[in-house]
């Protein structure tokens, strides 16, 4: 990009996102319904019971055209597993995936292939997701051929060039014969995005697509994904550990902890008016330069609402081989009640599409006394 036109580029991009961010009513492209995923382990526990990692419990999601859904959580929260189940890489242990209303049989190869044509993954690390011995054009030609989008070499080259242009790798001719090691991290991630687009998917699952990139180029790649979402009406699952980029990118945010869904709804609602104690904890831990001048240690006490202020919650996510009973956050939760360790709360709707799984706000839509 030329330095001289930066000033001109800024003006049209300074658009206000507030108006555009509300949940779409369109029919979902992909729906995950009550997904569970366990990974069996070798060896057995007491009494010969087989062990497994309970990676994802009862997760339901809907991805709609032109809408971003952010899946937020710490490492080990199961967010990557959800993306891999949705991509058809793993078969769910139970639950189903629907594509445009039709249940997909993940165990039938023809159905999986047809499904994968619609759903593509972008990985976190562009240094390992591209094959170092192949050129950019090879990476992009494979999906074009495998899925039958290009019929001859001329068509293929044309499509590769237009793909590179779509991800702002211009002039395309300069990139087409390069090897991954000749590209910077941001350029590699653009090639990975172009490879996903080559399949002509309707949904992209982006697994921390910018967290490995340099700070100054993250926003460039994020803006590219935003454009694909808004202008080409692709559905997006955006996996991140950073609530601020979830707010920037996605209309909907879902917070996961140790494989369970904690809270979800319109991003602005979830971030400005968090309900679940875990969401509050995440928000209080996120870097926020507006706290400048206050001391880091003292910062804990002041949270937006004093009513549910988050005291220091030292601790780490639980083992997923022997997960705690009930709500898996109860061991770290400052508001834990006896019932929290007995069963997982039903979903409570807070209105406007905002929901949470927490006994503080009732259970099965019966508002509890604790909720004030």
Interface characters, 133-172, with another protein (x: CB under 8 A): -----------------------------x--xxxxxx--
CA distance 75 to 275: 21
Q: Is 125 in the site for another protein (CB under 8 A)?
A: no
Among residues 14 and 153, whose Cβ is nearest to another protein? 14
104, 115 Cβ separation under 8 angstroms? yes
82, 32 Cβ separation under 8 angstroms? yes
Among residues 22 and 142, whose Cβ is nearest to another protein? 22
Window of 91-99, 105-113, 180-188, 345-353 that interacts with another protein by CB under 8 A: 180-188
Strand order across the 102-103 sheet: 50-63, 30-44, 94-99, 102-103
Integer CA distances (angstroms), 295 to 300, 302, 323, in order: 9, 11, 36
190, 130 Cβ separation under 8 angstroms? no
CB of 197 to another protein, least distance (A): 11
Q: Which of 60, 105, 313, 368 binds another protein (CB under 8 A)?
A: 313
The residues in 100-119 that bind another protein, with binding defined as CB under 8 A, are none
Beta-strand ranges (E) seen in 102-152 are 102-103, 119-122
Among residues 107 and 314, whose Cβ is nearest to another protein? 314
Q: Which of 114, 217, 331, 339 binds another protein (CB under 8 A)?
A: 217
Interface characters, 12-51, with another protein (x: CB under 8 A): xxxxxxxxxx------------------------------
Characterize the bridge pairing of strands 354-356 and 348-351.
antiparallel
The residues in 227-256 that bind another protein, with binding defined as CB under 8 A, are 227, 230-231, 241-245, 247-249
Q: Which of 68, 78, 180, 186 binds another protein (CB under 8 A)?
A: 186
Task: Compute how many residues bind another protein; rule: CB under 8 A.
Answer: 77
CB of 340 to another protein, least distance (A): 19
Among residues 278 and 355, whose Cβ is nearest to another protein? 278
Among residues 119 and 221, whose Cβ is nearest to another protein? 221
CA distance 251 to 82: 19
Q: Dihedral sign, CA of 78, 79, 81, 82?
A: positive
Closest CA to 306 of 332, 336, 278, 284: 284
The residues in 269-308 that bind another protein, with binding defined as CB under 8 A, are 271-272, 281-293, 295-297, 299-300
Integer CA distances (angstroms), 372 to 39, 230, 268, in order: 40, 39, 22
CA distance 357 to 370: 14
User: Position of tokens 């014969």?
Assistant: 177
The residues in 333-362 that bind another protein, with binding defined as CB under 8 A, are none
Interface characters, 187-206, with another protein (x: CB under 8 A): x-------------------
Among residues 17 and 91, whose Cβ is nearest to another protein? 17
Contacts 24+ apart (CB under 8 A), 301-310: 304/272, 307/372, 308/277, 308/280, 308/335, 308/360, 310/277, 310/280, 310/281, 310/284, 310/334
Token output for 53 = 């990692």
User: Position of tokens 């047809």?
Assistant: 114
Among residues 133 and 215, whose Cβ is nearest to another protein? 215
Phi and psi for 238 in degrees, rounded to 5?
-115, 110
Closest CA to 164 of 188, 147, 148, 184: 188
CB of 296 to another protein, least distance (A): 5
CA distance 335 to 302: 17
CB of 345 to another protein, least distance (A): 22
CB of 156 to another protein, least distance (A): 16
Interface characters, 45-84, with another protein (x: CB under 8 A): -----------------------------xx---------
Window of 5-13, 24-32, 39-47, 196-204 that interacts with another protein by CB under 8 A: 5-13
Window of 89-97, 200-208, 309-317, 339-347 that interacts with another protein by CB under 8 A: 309-317
């Amino acid at each position: 990009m030329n330095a001289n036109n930066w000033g001109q580029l800024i003006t049209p991009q300074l658009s206000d996102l507030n108006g555009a961010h509300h949940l779409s009513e369109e029919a979902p492209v992909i729906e995950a319904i009550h997904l569970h995923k366990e990974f069996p382990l070798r060896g057995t526990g007491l009494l010969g019971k087989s062990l497994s990692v309970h990676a994802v419990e009862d997760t339901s999601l809907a991805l709609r055209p032109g809408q971003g859904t952010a899946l937020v959580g710490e490492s080990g929260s199961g967010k990557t597993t959800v993306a891999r189940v949705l991509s058809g890489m793993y078969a769910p242990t139970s639950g189903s995936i629907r594509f445009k209303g039709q249940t997909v049989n993940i165990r039938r190869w023809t159905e999986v292939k047809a499904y994968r044509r619609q759903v593509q993954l972008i990985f976190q690390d562009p240094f390992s997701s591209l094959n170092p011995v192949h050129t950019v054009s090879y990476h992009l030609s494979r999906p074009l051929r495998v899925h039958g989008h290009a019929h001859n070499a001329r068509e293929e080259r044309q499509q590769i060039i237009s793909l590179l242009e779509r991800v702002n790798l211009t002039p395309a001719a300069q990139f087409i014969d390069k090897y991954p090691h000749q590209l910077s991290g941001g350029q590699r991630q653009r090639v990975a995005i172009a490879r996903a687009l080559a399949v002509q998917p309707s949904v992209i699952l982006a697994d921390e697509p910018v967290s490995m990139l340099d700070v100054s180029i993250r926003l460039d790649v994020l803006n590219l994904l935003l454009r694909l979402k808004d202008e080409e009406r692709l559905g997006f699952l955006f996996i991140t550990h950073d609530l601020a980029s979830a707010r920037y990118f996605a209309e909907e945010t879902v917070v996961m902890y140790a494989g369970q869904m904690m809270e979800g709804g319109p991003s602005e609602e979830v971030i400005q008016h968090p309900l679940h104690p875990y969401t509050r904890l995440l928000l209080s831990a996120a870097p926020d330069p507006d706290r400048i001048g206050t001391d880091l240690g003292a910062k804990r006490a002041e949270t937006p609402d004093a009513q549910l202020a988050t005291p220091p919650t030292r601790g780490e996510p639980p083992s997923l081989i022997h997960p705690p009973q009930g709500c898996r956050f109860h061991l770290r939760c400052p508001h834990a009640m006896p019932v929290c360790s007995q069963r997982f709360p039903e979903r409570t709707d807070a209105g406007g599409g905002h929901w949470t799984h927490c006994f503080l706000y009732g259970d099965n839509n019966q508002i509890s006394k604790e909720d004030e």
